[in-house]
């Protein structure tokens, strides 16, 4: 059964190209560590909610766009091993120091698919 790790973050609109470059640079490393698919999405229709919404979840500010991305792995075990490898990889450390958004406001989590049609 596949395993999915999802991410939501707020990226300054002015950093869109930099964000796409950053994601493209990271993708081969995720694949190297076991990811089978990586999808990056730039917010296009992200409405404000009455109680909660994507923007408030990441404390998006004026001039920021919400991104939604996910990484698919063959299993939770492969994802867990990948995360361990990433934590010790100097390339990821370097990329973490150059993120084009505020990583402290990013939300993420692992999900076990229950329907895939």
Q: Which pLDDT score is estimated for 5?
A: 98
Helix (H) or strand (E) holding 68: strand 64-73
**Alpha-carbon gap, residue 99 to 95, rounded angstroms:** 6
Q: What is the pLDDT of residues 61-106, one digit of tens each?
A: 999 999 999 999 999 999 999 999 988 989 888 887 889 999 999 9
pTM for the whole thing? Answer: 0.92
Q: Which pLDDT score is estimated for 62?
A: 96
Instruction: Identify the CATH assignment for 3-107 out of 3.30.70.100, 3.30.465.10, 3.40.1050.10, 3.10.129.10.
Output: 3.30.70.100
pLDDT higher than threshold 80 for residue 47: yes
């Amino acid at each position: 059964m596949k395993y999915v790790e999802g991410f939501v973050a707020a990226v300054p609109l002015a950093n869109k190209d930099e964000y796409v470059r950053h994601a493209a640079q990271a993708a081969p490393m995720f694949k190297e560590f076991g990811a089978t698919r990586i999808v990056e999405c730039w917010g296009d229709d992200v409405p404000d909610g009455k109680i909660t919404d994507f923007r408030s979840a990441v404390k998006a500010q004026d001039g920021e766009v919400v991104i939604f991305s996910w990484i698919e792995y063959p299993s939770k075990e492969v994802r867990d091993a990948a995360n361990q490898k990433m934590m010790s990889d100097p390339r990821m450390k370097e990329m973490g120091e150059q993120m084009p958004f505020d990583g402290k406001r990013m939300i993420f989590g692992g999900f076990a698919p229950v329907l895939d049609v």
